[in-house]
């Protein structure tokens, strides 16, 4: 007999004939002249630009995964943030303008000081020194208040932006989350949120400050001497083409770079989550190569963004360094012709020096904002995901849960349920059993209103489950799966999350029902004990019991338990479900489990095989039938 584990790798598609993920044209020449290297660099740069444009175009309307928002949506998002903070923004602009204005007065005063010293004209030195000291102190005061205002402004923007992202993520359709790339979503809510946060918190205020300083410095240079200012400003302007090219190409480049990080995280997440499968089927080499390919693709995207920055900085370096020399040369000529005095030349040189720093900082902040805008585009792309349901205004007339002709496909043309009909009486306990992959969990999702059936109807009280508002749906039917989450907070907070306003007696009753009150009372602070990441660590079984207690507090009339006790040892699970039976009297319960003792206690048992209910009846009836269920029971009890 063939060893399936040994031959499993052979069943995977051979990718050795696939084209390389990085085209050979992107490899730099190893032995070439400087001219040939420059020509090859331009070719690689153009090819990387085309790849970035292709990725950006594909991200606008992806067949799978998360979309990316356009520039208009990003601008509208930031415009809305600023519109609601007009007073704070006005204060930010005025205070920084005052600070910049005070700073620009100093070069003029120093120029006057030069004239007083050399030519003996102007105000007395003592009076001039006092004025300079006063201006410097005023600038320090304005700068302090302006920095404080910009910090508060940035923090407020950051808070609102993050709250918007959290609200957006929480409203995502569960089906969209499960069908898209987990690594992409993780990258967007970690790296992209962090990048967006930094650009909002620091980039926006600093860009405003730098822009004000640049504009006012140019004005001061012109007021000081047009003859000395114009040549320097024209030299600064030579960087315009480089800046415009960068601003036009950088957004697509950074969006492409972010998508490669998502690709790396997706492969890594899949490999870690399926580590046992990878090891048992001998797929380690393939997964390592897939990770290497992702890193190679990401490296090419980063080389493109780095090239854009290097080209920009080379142009800026020329534009920033040359005006110093030009100002001195023009100043010498103007002085010889009597067009400018030494004070004006001194002020002009100081203004050129003063302008280079804020202009350089402005370009740097624009770069930060470009990266932030790319991350914001990816985050706002999540907001473009359409909801999977539109709530109606009809409310259920009764608590009967009915499924008729239920069919569902995760991929078009591949149904996993085939015309399932099921009607549950109020208070009935139904167990759904069957082998893995038979469609049990999918049926549970349809009966709890998580997904809309492809055909047929899943309704409660005569109303489609997916047409109910979510807040109404969860008071009618609730789903608890084998996956659970403990939020950072107290034990009480984790449980009353399902129904705010619940009393401590309600919480203790729920904990008692799931058999966990005893260990909770033994915690250091009882119900007030902080749990979650970085706090008191719960065992998987304890975390599952907290999730079940949360479900009980929600108090729906119908519960769908999808292998809810799979992480608890059989003896504890048996005790837990026995305790729940006392509390759930009168409720409709759908239990999906691989432990058949759950089925033994149910009123009816539905055996699901290949997406169809092949047997339906009580435990005794199905044992007498001696069919699929009887075989499963014998295997379980033997």
Strand order in the sheet with 612-617: 477-481, 558-562, 588-592, 429-433, 604-609, 612-617
Residue 514 has phi, psi (to 5 degrees) of -100, 10
Per-domain boundaries in the chain = 68-383, 401-637
Measured distance CA(212)–CA(359) in Å, rounded: 10
Tell me what pLDDT residue 2 has: 46
Measured distance CA(303)–CA(587) in Å, rounded: 61
Tell whether domain 401-637 is in CATH 3.30.1370.100: no
Q: Which of 462, 466, 439, 441 is nearest to 453 (CA)?
A: 466
pLDDT tens digits, residue range 409-453? Answer: 887 888 899 989 999 988 888 989 888 888 888 898 899 888 889
Q: 68-383, superfamily in CATH? A: ABC transporter type 1, transmembrane domain (1.20.1560.10)
Residue 146, SS3 per DSSP: helix
Q: Which of 397, 359, 380, 354 is nearest to 224 (CA)?
A: 354
- Tell the residue number behind the tokens 């492809």, with chain if given: 454
* Tokens found for residue 407: 């069919």
pTM, whole model, 2 decimals? 0.63
pLDDT tens digits, residue range 73-119? Answer: 888 888 888 888 888 888 888 887 888 778 777 777 777 777 777 76
Measured distance CA(533)–CA(130) in Å, rounded: 59
Measured distance CA(150)–CA(202) in Å, rounded: 9
Q: Which residues of the chain have pLDDT under 50?
A: 1-2
What is the DSSP secondary-structure string of 23-85? -GGGSPPSS--HHHHHHHHHHHHHHHHHHHHHHHHHHHS-SSS-----HHHHHHHHHHHHHTT
Measured distance CA(416)–CA(635) in Å, rounded: 25
Given a contact cutoff of 8 angstroms between Cβ atoms, the answer to whether 211 and 377 are in contact is no
Q: Which of 551, 549, 536 is nearest to 507 (CA)?
A: 549
């Amino acid at each position: 007999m063939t060893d399936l584990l040994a031959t499993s790798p052979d069943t995977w598609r051979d990718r050795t004939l696939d084209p390389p993920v990085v085209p050979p044209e992107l490899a730099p020449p190893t032995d070439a002249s400087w001219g040939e290297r420059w020509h090859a660099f331009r070719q690689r740069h153009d090819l990387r630009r085309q790849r970035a444009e292709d990725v950006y175009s594909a991200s606008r309307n992806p067949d799978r995964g998360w979309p990316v928002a356009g520039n208009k949506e990003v601008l509208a998002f930031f415009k809305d943030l600023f519109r609601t903070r007009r007073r704070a923004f006005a204060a930010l602009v005025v205070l920084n303008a005052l600070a910049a204005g005070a700073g620009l007065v100093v070069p003029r005063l120093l120029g006057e000081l030069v004239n007083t010293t050399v030519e003996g004209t102007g105000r007395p030195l003592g009076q001039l020194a006092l004025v300079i000291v006063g201006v410097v102190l005023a600038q320090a005061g304005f700068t302090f208040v302006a920095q404080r205002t910009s910090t508060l402004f940035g923090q407020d923007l950051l808070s609102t932006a993050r709250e918007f992202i959290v609200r957006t993520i929480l409203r995502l359709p569960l089906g969209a989350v499960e069908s898209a790339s987990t690594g992409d979503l993780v990258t967007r809510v970690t790296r992209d949120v962090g990048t967006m946060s930094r650009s909002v918190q620091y980039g926006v205020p600093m860009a405003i400050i730098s822009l004000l300083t640049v504009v006012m410095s140019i004005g001061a240079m012109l007021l000081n001497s047009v003859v000395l200012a114009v040549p320097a400003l024209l030299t600064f302007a030579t960087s315009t083409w480089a800046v415009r090219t960068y601003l036009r190409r950088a957004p697509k480049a950074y969006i492409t770079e972010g998508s490669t990080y998502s690709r790396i995280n997706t492969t890594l997440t899949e490999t870690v989550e399926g580590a046992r499968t990878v090891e048992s089927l001998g797929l380690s080499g393939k997964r390592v190569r897939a990770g290497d390919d992702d890193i190679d693709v990401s490296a090419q995207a980063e080389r493109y963004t780095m090239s854009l920055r290097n080209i920009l900085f080379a142009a800026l370096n020329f534009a920033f360094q040359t005006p110093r020399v030009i100002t001195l040369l023009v100043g010498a000529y103007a002085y010889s012709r009597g067009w400018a005095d030494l004070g004006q030349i001194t002020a002009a040189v100081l203004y050129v020096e003063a302008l280079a720093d804020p202009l350089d900082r402005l370009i740097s902040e624009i770069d930060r904002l470009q990266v932030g805008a790319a991350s914001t585009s990816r985050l706002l792309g999540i907001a473009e995901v359409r909801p999977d349901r539109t709530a109606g205004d009809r409310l259920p007339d009764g608590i009967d849960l009915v499924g008729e002709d239920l069919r569902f496909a995760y991929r078009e043309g591949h149904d996993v349920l085939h015309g399932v009909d099921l009607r549950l009486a109020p208070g009935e306990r139904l167990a759904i059993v069957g082998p893995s992959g038979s469609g049990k969990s999918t049926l549970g999702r349809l009966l709890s209103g998580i997904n809309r059936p492809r055909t047929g109807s899943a309704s409660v009280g005569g109303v489609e489950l997916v047409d109910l508002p979510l807040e109404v749906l969860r008071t009618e039917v609730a789903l608890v799966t084998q996956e659970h989450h403990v939020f950072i907070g107290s034990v009480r907070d984790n449980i009353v999350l399902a129904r705010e306003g619940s009393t401590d007696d309600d919480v203790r009753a729920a904990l008692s029902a799931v058999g966990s009150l005893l260990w909770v009372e033994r915690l250091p602070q009882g119900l007030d004990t902080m749990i979650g990441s970085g706090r008191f660590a719960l065992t998987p079984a304890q975390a599952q019991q907290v999730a079940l207690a949360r479900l009980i507090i929600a108090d729906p009339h119908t519960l769908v338990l999808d292998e809810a006790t799979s992480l608890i040892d059989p003896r504890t699970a048996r005790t837990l479900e026995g305790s729940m039976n006392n509390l759930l009297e009168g409720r409709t319960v759908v239990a999906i489990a691989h432990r058949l003792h759950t089925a033994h206690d149910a009123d009816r048992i539905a055996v699901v095989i290949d997406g169809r209910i092949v047997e339906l009846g009580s435990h005794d009836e199905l044992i007498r039938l001696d069919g699929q269920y009887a075989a499963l029971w014998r295997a379980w009890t033997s």
